[in-house]
């Protein structure tokens, strides 16, 4: 029976790094799969109210966002502290909502359009007058499916 000859070379071999690229790739894919790009920079502070019955918002691709709140700290000296509406990247007025909804609706495919949802991310301190105006505009734009953004309140989960 043949015997393998042991040569005297007994140095410890280095840890194989050949799988390192795979690991790096995986991390990359992980980030690619999980991060959702925030296309817009928030110019308003939104501190959503808490609600125990808040439910997860499904199908994010069908959701358009309207942000309402006081301007962020950096922009407050310039724009004051009165609540403002933000659509896409910039401050907007009520009149632009119809236009905004139309353009958002155009982005969706024909069959997805009825399922379009508008998520209202509104700061808790905002007065209802403004919210009502926005709701009226949405009705005018025929975007009837809305979602009041609210943080899930875990403290009250037991009385559900």
Partner 1 sequence: MAKRKVPEINSGSMADIAFLLLIFWLMTTSMNVDSGIARKLPPLVEQDNDPGMDAHERNVLMVFVSGNNQLMVAGQRMDISGLCEKAKTFITNPTNDPNMPEKEMTDIPLLGRYPVSKGLISLQNDRGTSYDMYLQVQNELTKAYNQAKDELAQQKFGRSFTDLNDEQRKAVNKAIPVKISEAEPRNLTGGK
Q: Binding to partner 1 by residue 12, rule CB under 8 A?
A: yes
Binding characters for partner 1, 130-149, by CB under 8 A (x = yes): xxx--x--xxx-xxxxxxxx
Question: With CB under 8 A, what is the number of residues at the site for partner 1?
Answer: 59
| Residue 72 and residue 127 in contact, taking contact as beta carbons nearer than 8 Å | no
Q: Mapping DSSP to helix (H, G, I), strand (E, B) and coil, where does residue 84 land?
A: strand
* Minimum CB distance to partner 1 smaller for 1 or for 8: 8
- Give the Cα separation of 89 and 38 in Å (integer): 11
Q: Which of residues 66-85 bind partner 1 (CB under 8 A)?
A: none
* 104 closest CA partner among 143, 56, 137: 143
Query: Which position has the token pair 């009502």?
Result: 132
Q: Binding to partner 1 by residue 59, rule CB under 8 A?
A: no
* Minimum CB distance to partner 1 smaller for 77 or for 129: 129
Query: Which position has the token pair 């358009």?
Result: 64
Query: Which position has the token pair 């009705």?
Result: 139
* Minimum CB distance to partner 1 smaller for 56 or for 73: 56
| Residue 150 and residue 87 in contact, taking contact as beta carbons nearer than 8 Å | no
Task: Give the binding range for partner 1 (CB under 8 A) out of 43-51, 72-80, 89-97, 108-116.
Answer: 43-51
Question: Beta partners for 152?
Answer: 51
Q: Binding to partner 1 by residue 23, rule CB under 8 A?
A: yes
* Minimum CB distance to partner 1 smaller for 13 or for 77: 13
């Amino acid at each position: 029976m043949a015997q393998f000859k042991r040569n005297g070379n007994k140095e410890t071999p280095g840890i194989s790094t050949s799988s390192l690229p795979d690991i790096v790739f995986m991390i990359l894919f992980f980030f690619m799969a999980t991060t959702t790009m925030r296309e817009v920079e928030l110019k308003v502070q939104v501190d959503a109210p808490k609600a125990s019955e808040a439910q997860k918002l499904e199908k994010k691709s069908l959701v358009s966002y309207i942000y309402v709140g006081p301007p962020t700290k950096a922009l407050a000296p310039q724009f004051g502290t009165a609540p403002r509406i933000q659509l896409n990247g910039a401050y907007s007025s009520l009149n632009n909502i119809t236009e905004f909804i139309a353009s958002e609706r155009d982005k969706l495919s024909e069959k997805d359009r009825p399922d379009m949802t508008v998520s209202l991310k509104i700061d808790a301190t905002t007065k209802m007058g403004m919210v009502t105006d926005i709701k009226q505009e949405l009705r005018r734009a025929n975007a009837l499916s809305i979602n009041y953004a609210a943080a899930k309140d875990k403290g009250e989960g037991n009385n559900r």
